Amino acid sequence: MNILIKSAKIVYPQDKGLHLKKKDIFIKNGIIDTISSSVDVPSPTKIIDIKNLHVSLGWMDSGVSFGEPGYEERETLANGLDVAAISGYTDIILNPNTNPLPDTSSDIVFVMEKAKGKTTDLHPLGTLTKNSEGKDLAELFDMGNAGAVGFYDFKKQISNPNLLKIALLYAQNFDGLVFSYPQDGNIKGKGVVNEGENSTVLGLKGIPALAEELQISRDLFILEYTGGKLHIPTISTKNSVKLVAAAKKKGLDVSCSVAIHNLMFTDDSLKDFNTNFKVVPPLRTKEDCKALIKGLKDGVIDYVTTDHTPIDIEEKRVEFDHALEGTIGFESAFGSLNRLFGLEDSIALLTKGRERFAIREPKIAPGATANLCLFNPNVDWVFGPEHIESTSKNSMFLETTLKGKVYGTINNNQIALSNFE
């Protein structure tokens, strides 16, 4: 397949000769053939010519959930990957949030086989413990050999500190990446929202920041003792940023992420008891949001994630206490980040992180495999139900003004475009 991207501004700071320059990009059979001010192309060639078109490397998300196997009513692998592709993502890390849970090599192989042939590449996580029960380590080495890029008991704390110690020690034998969810379940208790003034006014049980910060402190002490590689997904508090910063200053091999919705929204959004705003970790305060944004700018927080979690309507249209946690986030991701950080910083955040998960780093250069995102950063628009392509519709971004629209991606000698025309 031949593709010509006409007169696109390339956002690629790795090459000063291309960065923010308008160029034609000719792609032949999935490989970038020519980058020039003007390209003559053979017939037939699909020509992409869009006003104010921008191009960057394809984006990566370090933690998304679908449903298959077990919860196909929420999202299938096929549709989830299609939505990721038209939202700008060419690589996603898939959370172990299914039934059955992926705790063996055969489970990893199943997911990877189902995901073949898509524009977006899927990189699965295996569970850290068998059935995510927090008792015995799962088949980490075998799952790693099968393609798992890390090990995570999704949204569950590792209650036993010795188990985390053993996991970090064992995973060093094959350079494995251990995830530890930052929440002490005993302190969280039955909490459903951030503990503070709003939880009191609304009469909802609170989750104190201490629940997150205590777990992170413990995990970092263990990491300092064992060595190894630790990833802390979706931190949400001001002091969590400080704890990670101090650990990095010591030279510990720790990374962390933050969910985009924890940058955009606070617990002030809960006043209408809209269950789309029920997430874990919970929405925190304005002070926390500011600290998280600063943490990203300073490089303390490594990655932004959509924390895309489809939940079907039956599990959301219930009383707030009983609703499942989660919001979808693919379709609104770029427009949210671009509004907060601007073009170049947003693209830097969206394209970083592959090396942490041992994923091949793409390039924009002749001879390189085309792994590209197409977008317009200068469109202001209001996100509505008609913009949701996910099977589940549980988005807290509805009625939010966003800046920038994604047209699609090119990867694996395929092209996925949204209905922008």
- Domains, the chain: 58-357 (3.20.20.140)
| Residues 6+ away with beta carbon under 8 Å from 267 | 193, 194, 196, 198, 199, 282, 283, 284, 285
| Residues 6+ away with beta carbon under 8 Å from 59 | 88, 89, 90, 91, 334, 350, 351, 373
- Nearest-5° Cα angle at 256, 162 to 168: 25
Range 1-28 burial, b when 16+ CB lie within 10 A, else e: eebbbbbbbbbbeeeeebeeeebbbbbb
Distance of CA 7 to the CA centre of its chain: 30
Each residue of 194-212: pLDDT tens digit? 999 999 999 999 999 999 9
| Residues 6+ away with beta carbon under 8 Å from 201 | none
pLDDT score, position 181: 98
Terminal-residue alpha carbon distance, the chain: 21
Each residue of 281-319: pLDDT tens digit? 999 999 999 999 999 999 999 999 999 999 999 999 999
**What's this model's pTM, rounded to 2 decimal places?**
0.96
Mapped onto helix, strand or coil, the DSSP state of residue 416 is strand
- The residues annotated as belonging to the active site are 307
pLDDT over 90 percentage in the chain:
97
Residue 5 corresponds to which tokens in the numbers above? 């991207």
Run means of pLDDT, 10 residues per run, the chain, 421 residues = 96 97 97 94 92 97 97 97 98 97 98 97 98 97 98 97 98 98 97 97 97 98 98 98 98 98 98 97 98 98 98 96 98 98 98 96 98 98 97 98 98 89 45
Rounded CA separation 252/230 (Å)? 9
pLDDT score, position 420: 55
Each residue of 41-68: pLDDT tens digit? 888 999 999 999 999 999 999 999 999 9
Look at the block and give the residue holding tokens 């988005």: 395
Residue 239 corresponds to which tokens in the numbers above? 């002091």
| Residues 6+ away with beta carbon under 8 Å from 197 | none
Mapped onto helix, strand or coil, the DSSP state of residue 223 is helix
Strand partners, 381: 402
